Chains A and B, each alone.
Chain A
Amino acid sequence: MLFEITTAALDPRRLIERVRKDESGAVVLFSGVVRNENLGRRVMYLEYDAYTEMAERVMGDIAEEAMRRWPITDVAMQHRTGRLEIGETSLLVAVSAPHRKEAFEACHALVDRFKEVVPVWKKEVWEGGEEWIEGEAVNRSG
């Protein structure tokens, strides 16, 4: 298990190796990347902020939830902070499991959950302005 907030560039290969076990028949990797458009605005770059200590702990909590729900063998998550350019990777979620079905399902659920509860924020900077994007406020148990 690895849960990390970092300013360094994210390396998908490293995360895949990290979660792969000899009993894993599947590794699913989600990679969130910065795209050049949002709500019709031409995005120049994003800037991410995080409450690092809490974010890493909450990532561990949601990984444990997933491990209780699916027979998966390992989970790792990393989120990058600071300024990210178009095409750079902001989030990696890797899940290994004996079989692909639970690896896909758990990875999908973890990405959704991440966006609900992990204290990470992004600021969108476009030509002529900038704005902190705020998601829906949800209950932690939600």
Chain B
Amino acid sequence: MKAKVRLFARLSELAGTREAEVEVGEGLTAGEVYQALCRRYPALSGINGSIRYAVNGEYADPGHPVGEGDELALIPPVSGGSRAV
């Protein structure tokens, strides 16, 4: 039972990858998948407070379930456009 994780911007540079597969067993929460990912990519640790989650392209709480075939994205604070933020 695997889920796909997508990483962007600073997080993809910290992990050195834009995609990862995580074993979710019978199902984990978004926050638990992030913890599992931190064990594999320690550079991702410690940014917990500043990220949001999206499950299958929809913003989701850390407690949102992630199961077989789901896509979890770790979303750093967004900064599109061109102004200073």
Q: List 23 A-B contacts (CB under 8 A).
A: A32-B81, A32-B83, A34-B82, A49-B12, A50-B80, A51-B8, A54-B73, A90-B80, A91-B80, A114-B80, A114-B81, A115-B78, A115-B80, A119-B8, A119-B73, A120-B78, A121-B10, A132-B9, A133-B85, A134-B85, A135-B85, A136-B85, A137-B52
Set of chain B residues within 8 Å of A123, measured between Cβ atoms? 9
Set of chain A residues within 8 Å of B59, measured between Cβ atoms? 117, 140
**Cα distance, A14 to B77, chains bound together (Å):** 30
Total number of B residues with any Cβ neighbor in A under 8 Å: 25
Partner-A contacts on B (CB < 8 A): 6, 8-10, 12-13, 50-52, 54, 57-59, 73, 75-85
Set of chain A residues within 8 Å of B77, measured between Cβ atoms? 134-137
10 A-B pairs besides A54-B58, A121-B76 with CB distance below 8 A are A32-B83, A54-B54, A91-B82, A111-B81, A116-B78, A119-B78, A120-B79, A122-B79, A132-B79, A137-B77
**Cα distance, A35 to B83, chains bound together (Å):** 8
Asked if A121 and B73 make an inter-chain contact with CB atoms under 8 angstroms apart, the answer reads no
Total number of A residues with any Cβ neighbor in B under 8 Å: 35
Asked if A90 and B82 make an inter-chain contact with CB atoms under 8 angstroms apart, the answer reads yes
Set of chain B residues within 8 Å of A115, measured between Cβ atoms? 78-81, 83, 85
Partner-B contacts on A (CB < 8 A): 32-35, 38-39, 46, 48-51, 53-54, 57, 79, 90-91, 111, 114-123, 132-137, 140
